[in-house]
Chain A
C-alpha cells in the first residue's frame, strides 16, 4: 500500500468521485423519496471538494506528474479539462433536480451515474496509456447508456439507450482493434512508446496507418463527427433532456481532450496524414450538421445536429494544429479547441436547461413550435434563449463569437483561409435555424388553444444554472482574456 501512496494521492480526485458515486448508490434505497435532493447535494459537495483538490494538486503549470508507472498523467492540460468537467457535472446535477421531479423519474442512482461517468471522463483526460484511456471511455459510455434509458416509461428513451449501446459498443470495438494494432507496432500501449516506435518505423508503415484510421474512427463516433454521427439525433432526442445536455457537453469535451492527447502525444509523427483526414471529416461534418438541422422541428433534434456541426468547427482547430506552421507550432489550434469547447458548454447547457423546464401542462415542450410567443408570456426566459441561440450562431458580442474567432484565426494562420471561409458561410446557414427559434419566440403570436401554453417552470436551482450559463456567455464574450490565457498555458504541457 505504501508503495502506491504517491500514486493514489495523485488520483485522489478520481477516487473521491468514485467513492461519492458508490455512496450515492448505496444510500439511495434508504433515502425517502422526499429527501432525494440530499443525494444531489452530496454529489455537488464531492465535486466542490475535487475542484479545490485539482486546483491545489497542480498549482504550478509546468508540473507533469505521472502515476502508476506512466499509466496516468496529471498535468495542466488535464487540470483544464477536469475543471471544465466538474463545472459541467455540477450544473447538470443542479439542472436535473427540478427536471427529474417534473418528469417523475426521481432515481437516486441517477446522480451516482453522473459521478461514475464523470470519473470515466477524468480518467480519459488524464490517461497517458491507450488502455487507461479505453477504460475511461468505457466507464463513461456505460454510465451514459444507462442514463439515456432512464425514462423507462418512454419508448423513445429506451430506443435511445439501445441504439446508443449497440453503436457505442461497436465503436469501442473498433477503437480497441486500433489499440491492439498499435501494441503490435510498439510493443506497448503507452503514448510515449508509441510515438517513439512511429519515429523509428517511419510514418508510412501501413500497419501504423491502419491503426491510426481505426482509432480515428473510434473517436469520431464519440465526437459525433460525420459519417459516424448516426446515433446522435436519436439519442439526443430520446434521452432525458438533462442527460442530453450532459452528453452534448461533458462527453464531447472529454472525448476531444483524450482525442487531442492521443493524436498529438502518441500519433504526432503522422500529423501530415491525419490532418488531411480530419480536414475532410471537418468539412462534411459541419456541412451536414448545419444543413440537416434546418429541417428539424424538434428542438432537441435540431440541437443534436447543431452539436454535430460544432464538432466540425472544433475539428477545424485540430486540422490547423496538425498543419502546425508558423512560429507558434500547433498551439493556437489546440488552444482554440479548448476555448471553443468551454464556451460551447455554457451556451449548450443554458439552451438545454430552458428546453428541459419548458412545460406544457406537465409535459416537456420539445417542439420548436412550443416556443411560439414565449416572449409575450415570459420575456426574460425568451431573452435568455435569444442569447443562447445568438451565441450558438456565433454573433458577437457573445461567447460563441469568441470561440469561432479563435478557431478560424488558427485556421487562417495555418494557411486554411478557404476552409475558414467555407465554415463561416455555413455558420450563416446555422444562423437561419437558430434564428428560427428566436423568430417563433418573438415574432409569432401564440395559437389560441384550450391547452395552457408552454411555460418555463422556474426553481432556484434552474435559475442558478441559467444565471451561470448566461454569465459565461456574456462575460466571456466581452472579456475572454482569463479563459484564453488559461487555455494557452494549459496546452503547453501537451506534447
Chain B
C-alpha cells in the first residue's frame, strides 16, 4: 500500500524541527521539547506498522523528488520489511534516550538534546534512503553528531575515544563513497539503490567494490578485527550515547551489508562468505571471552555486543532465508536487549557513580524492581527461550546449519559462553553481598525509569513468544533479496532461495515460542 501522505519525510523533519527549536528555548524546557519531539516521531512511526503491506514486494511509502540534477540525485525514500523494524526501533529507542539523560546530563542540555535529535533524523534517514548519495549524506551526518556526543558529554578519557570513533568510521566510509561512484558509472549512471541492485557487474569489479563496502560496514558493525573502537566509545559515551551506539548505530553496518553488498555484489558475497563466516565466529567467541574478563559493566556489555553482532553477520552471510530473517530479527533484538542493559547500567551509575561490577554488588535486596528488570534483560541477552534473542539466534543457527555443521557447532559455543558471562555478572550484581558504603544511595526505580524499561521488557516477551508479526513483515523483502542474489547464477540452483522454505521458517518460529515457556 503506497500512501500519498509523506510519512517518511515527516519522520525525518520532526526531530530536526525539535533540534532547531532548541536554539530558542531555555535549558529547563529543552528536556520537554526533546521528549515531545521524539514521542511525536514515535507516534508518526507507529501507524506504519499497520499500514505496511506484508505481501507487497516493492518499497512502500515511497517519496521521489529530484534533488540535484547533474548528476541525477533524488530525495528518494521508501520502506520495506527490512527497514521497517529498524525505523520503528529507532523511533522507539530515542524517547528512552531523552528520558535516561533527564538528570544525567547537567551541562548544556540544549546542545545535548539538539545533537540527539539531529542524530535521530540521520539514523532514520539511513534506513529509509533509496538514493545512494542521500544514504551517504545521512550516514556521514551522523558521524559528527556522535563525535560531539561522546566528546562533549562523555567520560574522563573522552577525547581519545571520540577521535578514535570518528577516524575509524570516517576512514571506512570514504572508501564507500569511491565505490558508490564506480557503481554509478557501471550501473547506468544512476544512484538509485533499487536500480543498482538490479544491475550485474563484472566479477573482478565486484571483488573490489565488496572490499570497499566491507571497509565501511565492517567498521560500523563492528566485525572482528575492526571492533577496537567500540569498547572505548561505549565506556566514555554518556548513557544515551551508549544506547544509541549499541541499539541503532551498529545496525547500520549490518543493514548496509543486507541492503547493498548482498543484492548488488552477489558473486563477491558468495566468494567472501567463508571469510566473513570465519570472522563472525571469531567475533562471537572472542567477544564472549573478552566479556568474561571485564570488570566494568559497560565494557562487558560492549564486548557482548561484538559477540551478538557476530551472530547477525553470520546469519546474513550464510545467504539463506532462515539466516537472513534471523539476522534481521536479531538486529532488532539486540537493539532492545542491549539498549535495555545500557539503560540499566546508566541507572545504577547515577546512584553509585561507578560502573564497576565490584562497586555494584547485591542489588536484589535494596532495589528489587531494578534487579528483576536487569535479570530479564540479561537473560534475554543470553538467549533464554521465551525471550526475543532465542528466536533470532535460533533462526541464525538453523540457517548456519544448512550452510555448514562445523560453523554451527562453533557458533553455538558462543551461546554457552554468553550464558557464562551473563550469569556470572548476574550472580555478582544481583545476588552478591551489597557494599555497605553504597547502600544508602540505592533507592529503587522511580516512575521515569520504569517508563523507560517496561516497554522494552514487553517487547522482549512479545518477540520471544509471538515473533510472527515481525517475521511475516520482513519475509517478502528477504525473499526479494535472495532472489536478486541468485539471478546471476542463471537457473535457481539452490534449495534455499525457493519460496517453499519460507512458511516452514515462520512455523519454526512459532514452534519455538510455544516450546519456549514450557521448558
Contact = CB atoms under 8 A, between A and B. Distances in A.
Interface of A: 375, 379, 390, 395-397, 401, 405, 408-409, 412-413, 417, 420-421, 424-425, 427-428, 431-432, 435, 438-439, 442-444, 479-481, 484-485, 488
Most buried by A among B71, B143, B170: B170
B94 interface: no
A485 B141 CA distance: 25
Interface in B132-178: 133, 136-137, 140-141, 143-144, 147-148, 151-152, 158-159, 162-163, 166-167, 170-171, 174-175, 177-178
A405 B181 CA distance: 9
A428 B170 contact: yes
A404 to B, nearest CB: 8
Most buried by B among A396, A421, A438, A485: A396
B221 to A, nearest CB: 19
A439 B163 contact: yes
A432 B167 contact: yes
Contact of B178 (A390, A412, A485): A412
B70 interface: yes
A443 B181 contact: no
B458 interface: no
B137 A397 contact: yes
Contacts of A412: 178, 181-182, 184-185
The secondary-structure label for the interface of chain A is helix
A424 B215 CA distance: 13
A432 B160 CA distance: 12
A398 to B, nearest CB: 9
B68 interface: yes
B195 to A, nearest CB: 18
Nearest to B185: A413
Nearest to B152: A442
A442 B108 CA distance: 11
Contact of A443 (B68, B137, B158): B158
A439 B143 CA distance: 14
Contact of A442 (B141, B151, B170, B185): B151
B71 A409 contact: yes
Given A412-B182, A439-B151, A397 B141 contact: yes
Interface in B99-113: 108, 111
B400 to A, nearest CB: 34
Contacts of A439: 151, 159, 162-163
A395 to B, nearest CB: 6
B69 interface: yes
B154 to A, nearest CB: 8
A396 B132 CA distance: 13
Interface residues of B, number: 35
Nearest to B133: A405
Contacts of B212: 421
B147 A417 contact: no
Given A408-B181, A409-B181, A435-B147, A424 B159 contact: no
B27 to A, nearest CB: 12
Contacts of A432: 163, 167
A417 B205 CA distance: 12
A334 B69 CA distance: 18
B178 A395 contact: no
B174 A424 contact: yes
A458 B151 CA distance: 28
20 contacts: A379-B108, A396-B141, A405-B133, A412-B182, A417-B178, A417-B181, A421-B178, A424-B178, A427-B174, A428-B167, A432-B167, A438-B147, A438-B148, A442-B151, A442-B152, A479-B67, A479-B68, A481-B69, A485-B70, A488-B70
A327 to B, nearest CB: 10
Contacts of B158: 443
Contacts of B151: 439, 442-443
B202 to A, nearest CB: 14
B182 A390 contact: no
B122 to A, nearest CB: 10
Nearest to B150: A443
B136 A428 contact: no
A190 B159 CA distance: 57
Contact of A395 (B67, B144, B181): B144
A420 B137 contact: no
Nearest to A379: B111
B293 to A, nearest CB: 30
A428 B137 contact: no
Interface string B201-214: 00000000000100
Nearest to A424: B174
A456 B138 CA distance: 32
Contacts of B175: 421, 424-425
B377 to A, nearest CB: 31
Contacts of A379: 108, 111
A427 B108 CA distance: 31
Contacts of A409: 71, 181, 184
The 3 closest A-B pairs by CB, nearest first: A424-B174, A412-B181, A396-B137
Contacts of A431: 166-167, 170
Contact of B136 (A396, A435, A442, A488): A396
B140 A401 contact: yes
B68 A424 contact: no
B68 A481 contact: yes
Interface string B180-198: 0110110000000000000
Most buried by A among B70, B108, B162: B70
A433 to B, nearest CB: 11
Contact of B162 (A396, A401, A443): A443
B334 to A, nearest CB: 28
Nearest to B168: A428
Most buried by A among B136, B141, B152, B174: B174
